[in-house]
Amino acid sequence: MPHAFGTFQKLSQQSKGEKSSNVINHEEENLTDPKATLSLAQNASGDAMQRSVLQLQRTIGNRATQEMLAGTRQNMLQKAPRALIAPAPTMSRMPVQRDTADVAAGLEGSLNWVASGTKKKGKELALDSSTGALFWKKANNFLRWIKGKEAFPKDTGNMNCWEAIIYSAIKAEAIGQDAVREAYMTALNAANVIMAKPDGKIDDARIAFNQSLGNWLGLSQKNSGFVDDTAVEKGKLIMRVLQHVVIAVDSEEADPDESWDGGTIVMSLGHFDLEENKAKNTFTKTRLQNVWHADLRRELNVVDPPWA
């Protein structure tokens, strides 16, 4: 569990000098110290244990929390309430998803779409934050942050569609920054396994990169379906491979006067709006039907994000 513990150490160090700008409710006031939170998650019982685990999940993400607590699983099974062992959607998954959706909705009109890509560097594939600079005269701030070239982006930053959603999750404290960097580095390593082969091709390496990152975002769940007249659960991701990714933030009832069958409202960065017949290059709240034509909507995946 070296990575999860390393994440925890960094979190402990950061907590000494940094304070979150987010409001913390009274139940979480005693859980802001990472060491105390981990101790409660390992050794407490009942509500105290439940709140400490949820606080760890919100701070460093579910997967890192699971790794950190793996060694004390038996202790958790003995002391945790049944609802924590098999969490109900309204207790663990849904609050985090809804927080991210609310943050995303609050960013309407912010951010700027720009491509996110890779480039060949020597014999390897590297993240290419300058992909968009050739056409839009602006670098990808999210990738520059991933690479350690600049600070965490501002709401005026440049990034692509799925990075806008990850950005929202980080701002909602639904996932830790280290977990996001790890996902990108894992995808890059998968690409460079291909590049290292004698017959390795850059196109195949880029496919491996996209598959790894897509699977982390939820594509491996393979939950496809026609979602036109079904309200997708708030906070879920809707994607057609990694060509475009949106997040469900609301739903609307059918409106006969508008020939609207009802369905899902999403936040989308960088799509061509089918209703307004123009490109939307800032984070936009819109109906799902305005993002994809009907034939493409039949190929959509509706998935839980990695912070669920």
pLDDT tens digits, 13-51: 444 444 433 333 333 333 445 555 555 544 544 445 555
Residues 65 and 154 in one domain: no
From 87, 116, 136, give the residue that closes a domain: 87
Residues 213 and 100 in one domain: yes
Q: What is the pLDDT of residues 239-277, one digit of tens each?
A: 988 889 999 999 877 666 665 566 889 999 999 999 899
Residues 53 and 201 in one domain: no
Q: How many domains does the chain have?
A: 2
pLDDT greater than 90 at residue 209: yes
Residues 166 and 265 in one domain: yes
Residues 168 and 260 in one domain: yes
Positive or negative CA dihedral for 196, 197, 198, 199? negative
Residues 79 and 155 in one domain: no
Residues 80 and 209 in one domain: no
Q: Read off the pLDDT of each residue in 181-193 and give the average, rounded to a whole number.
A: 94
pLDDT greater than 60 at residue 208: yes
Give the separation between CA 267 and CA 241, rounded to whole angstroms.
17
Residues 206 and 163 in one domain: yes
Residues 148 and 169 in one domain: yes
From 39, 58, 87, give the residue that closes a domain: 87
Domain that holds residue 224: 89-308
Q: Looking up tokens 């994809």, which residue turns up?
A: 292
Residues 164 and 263 in one domain: yes
Residues 237 and 123 in one domain: yes
Q: What is the pTM of this model?
A: 0.68
CA-closest candidate to residue 27, choices 82, 102, 95, 86: 95
From 24, 58, 87, give the residue that closes a domain: 87
Residues 7 and 100 in one domain: no
DSSP per-residue string spanning the chain: -HHHHHHHHHHHHHHHH---SS---GGGGGG-SHHHHHHHHHH--HHHHHHHHHHHHHHH-HHHHHHHHGGGHHHHHHHS-HHHHS--TTTTHHHHHHHHHHHHHHTTT-SEE---EEEEETTEEEEETTTTHHHHS---HHHHHHTTSSPSP-TT-EE-HHHHHHHHHHHTTSS-HHHHHHHHHHHHHHHHHHHTSTT--HHHHHHHHHHHHHHHHTGGG--B---TTS-PPTT-EEEETTTEEEEEEEEE--BGGGTB--EEEEEESSEEETTTTEEE-S-EEEEGGGTS-HHHHTT-EEE--TT-
pLDDT at 219: 87
